[in-house]
Amino acid sequence: MKAMISGITGQTGSYLAESLLRDGYEVHGIIRRSSSFNTARIDHIFDQIHLHYGDVTDGGRVSQLVAAIQPDEVFHMAAQSHVRISFDCPAHSVDSVVQGTLNMLEAVRHHAPGARLYQAGSSEMYGAVLETPQRETTAFNPASPYSCAKACSHYLTKNYREAFGLFACNGILFNHESPRRGETFVTRKITRAIARIKAGKQNELFLGNLDSKRDWGHARDYAEAIRLIVGHETPSDFVIATGETHSVREFVEHAFALVGLDWTDFVKFDPRLLRPTEVDLLLGDPSKANNVLGWRHTTTFEELVEDMVLSDLKAEGLNLEPYE
Please confirm, yes or no, whether 124 is among the known catalytic residues. Answer: yes
CB 17 within 8 A of CB 8: yes
Question: Is beta strand 246-247 parallel, antiparallel or unpaired with respect to 2-6?
Answer: unpaired
Stated length of the chain? 324
Query: Which of these is catalytic: 146, 153, 177, 178?
Result: 146
Give CA–CA dist 130/62, Å, rounded: 36
Say how far apart CA 299 and CA 229 lie, in whole Å: 19
Whether 146 is catalytic is yes
> Which string of DSSP letters, residue by residue, matches 127-163?
-S-SSSSB-TTSPP---SHHHHHHHHHHHHHHHHHHH
Choice among 63, 93, 96, 122 that is catalytic: 122
Residue 243 host element (H or E): none
Distance CA 98, CA 189 (A): 27
126 catalytically annotated? no
- Which residue among the candidates 18, 124, 177, 224 is catalytic per the annotation? 124
* Residue 227, Cβ density class (10 Å: 0-12 exposed, 13-18 middle, ≥19 buried): buried
8 A C-beta contact, residue 80 and residue 96: yes
Q: Which residues pair with 281 in a beta bridge?
A: 213
What is the DSSP secondary-structure string of 90-117?
HHHHHIIIIIHHHHHHHHHHHH-TTSEE
Helix 100-111 to helix 59-69 angle, to the nearest 10 degrees?
Answer: 40
C-alpha span between 69 and 319 (Å, rounded): 43
> Would you please indicate which residues are annotated as catalytic (active-site) residues?
122, 124, 146
